[in-house]
Chain A
Amino acid sequence: MAESDTPAEPTRRDFLLHAAGAFGVVGVAAAAWPFVDQMNPDASTRALASVEVDISGVQPGQAITVMWRGKPVVIRNRTEKEVEEGKTVKLEDLKDPLARNANTDAAADATDANRAATGKENILVMTKVCTHLGCIPLDESGEFGGWFCPCHGSVYDTAGRIRKGPAPENLPIPPYAFLSDTKIRIG
């Protein structure tokens, strides 16, 4: 309210009207928030359980799937051929050049080494949820010998990197650590 274009001083009534209006808006927003936020996951859902997995029985060429935060995580013991295929891919051929590995730097390249477990290039741990619209890709299928999503045709290679189809990103790698040679803790 610039003085120049309001010749009359704002009255006491104007002030009360605007103050009441402003309080009303804040009040309605405050009352609405619980009705919006109730839809969010509650603390019991948000509490992150970590899972420990014994992978001693997973032979080369085999994979197991475990549930973590309601989503499947695949742990694959890759064959030498699969590792070799993962390594020979040039970075410029990748649709998503980032590693998407929660255990490495966020800007890390999507090389096979950055995707596989540190020091265990045959072990690949990743969330098996298609980065397109959340379907579960099928193991050992698709033209790149990795994963194929049946919903909309996204194809991932042997290192879980998106190669073809509508998905925008490589399959994400959750935070995990080796507790021993054969035991992994995810989360």
Chain B
Amino acid sequence: MSGHSTYVPKTAIGKWFEARLPVVRLLHDTAVSYPTPRNLNALWTFGGILAMMLVVQIVTGIVLAMHYAAESTIAFRSVESIMRDVNWGWLIRYLHANGASMFFIAVYIHIFRGLYYGSYKAPREILWILGVIIYLLMMAAAFMGYVLPWGQMSFWGATVITNFFTALPIVGQPIQTLLIGGFSVDNATLNRFFSLHYLLPFLIAGVVVLHVWALHVVGQNNPLGIDVKSEKDTVPFTPYATSKDVLWIVLFMIFYGWFVFYQPNFLGHPDNYIEANPLSTPAHIVPEWYFLPFYAILRAIDFNIGPIDSKLGGVLAMFGAIAVLAFLPWLDTSKVRSGRFRPIFKVAFWVFGVNALFLGYLGSQATDAIIAGLQAVSWAKLSTFYYFAYFLVILPVLGYIEKPKPLPVSINDAILAKSVPGSAH
């Protein structure tokens, strides 16, 4: 897909450099002349938005680390000092804290875009799996970052999540002790989480390079889900994709800015402004919003399944909910990529989307809350069932029983048919 390079160095220095390190050629081929399908919609700008968010998080994070102290007796105070004393500290911290939420909003849109248009199907399996790895690294980075302010939610979130490992038989307890460096979450835990929180974004950046590389080998998917057949189906990345990316990055920044400047604590939890107290668990402990669907799945398994007790079952279901994504390229048996041409899939997909939001809502509720006459935990069981059924039953079976609508001959034909009725063929 990437085709041969069209870069021609014009200046003498350019030629001299090109013969020694062709990095300008690499950038030109990647970000200027790279052919993109001409029918990409706005959902395809979220890759660019995510790249921007990664840069924002790294830049704000490096600055915060200049003022933060990773020591359990002063960590909370140092964050308050960032908010009150450090010049512009409030802005930088709010950008970083809300930036994490924006990063997840963008990644969820990006993932659901891929789910709907079948971007995970051959030949993009590796591209998709690299995306799942980035998502996992993001979750680890976000979790450890949330621990650093050393508030009540930080402390109890760290306690609950590191306790996931104790669900494993025999090796579980030693692994947990190794992770937190003691018998309970304490200074040792805070220190290593800070170290790893600083490391992970750079690992993410590394996997992003592989993700973009894989993308440029196989080419972008598009809303029709059909392969690019000729040059007529594509436009060069610059100016077409770059200008569209910039437009949506600006719109996204307005959305981001609204949170930072008008609702900076809307997505957080007030209990995290209370310093960590190992003797008192907050009455309603909830993770950050982006983990709520998985939290609901964790709590849904409150029954033993044969030799697997409820605790291990919940942890396995929660990790399984993410791991199943990595197998998606082989679970979806349909040859048609785009949901536009799959009438039954379309329904199952939207139910899946609503179900995922509903799981998030359930994660925010107490387990014994009554919703429409049923306990939240019972709803969570139903929702968890559909979540897994979508991947393990619906997608594998649909490929055999669904009759897809006819696909257009090419991207170019489909566009012409739309703009000038009757002109294609």
A residues bordering B, Cβ < 8 Å?
36, 39-41, 45, 65, 67, 69-72, 131-138, 149-153, 165-168
Contact = CB atoms under 8 A, between A and B. Distances in A.
Contact of A65 (B178, B186, B279, B283): B279
Given A133-B163, A135-B156, A135-B285, A152 B278 contact: no
A134 B310 CA distance: 15
* 10 cross-chain pairs, A with B, having the tightest CB-CB distances, nearest first: A153-B367, A70-B184, A133-B163, A134-B163, A136-B281, A168-B309, A133-B160, A135-B281, A166-B302, A134-B159
Residue of B183, B285, B367 with most chain A CB atoms under a 10 A cut-off: B183
Nearest to A96: B309
Given A70-B186, A153-B367, A167 B279 contact: no
Interface residues of B, number: 39
Contacts, number: 92
Contact of A168 (B179, B183, B299, B310): B310
Contacts of A131: 311
B179 A39 contact: yes
Given A70-B184, A135-B281, A166 B156 contact: no
Contacts of B285: 135, 150-151
26 contacts: A36-B178, A39-B181, A40-B177, A41-B181, A41-B183, A65-B279, A67-B278, A70-B186, A71-B183, A71-B278, A131-B311, A132-B311, A133-B160, A134-B159, A134-B162, A135-B285, A136-B279, A138-B281, A150-B281, A151-B160, A153-B299, A153-B302, A166-B310, A167-B310, A168-B309, A168-B312
B387 interface: no
B299 A135 contact: no
B234 to A, nearest CB: 48
A95 to B, nearest CB: 8
Contact of B188 (A45, A65, A67): A45
Contacts of B182: 41, 45, 70
B22 to A, nearest CB: 35
B142 interface: no
Contacts of B377: 153
Given A150-B284, A153-B299, A166-B311, A135 B160 contact: yes
Interface of B: 156, 159-164, 166, 177-179, 181-184, 186, 188, 192, 278-285, 298-299, 301-302, 309-312, 314, 366-368, 377
A15 to B, nearest CB: 37
A153 to B, nearest CB: 4
Contact of A39 (B161, B186, B192, B279): B192
B156 A151 contact: yes
A40 B192 CA distance: 11
A67 B188 CA distance: 18
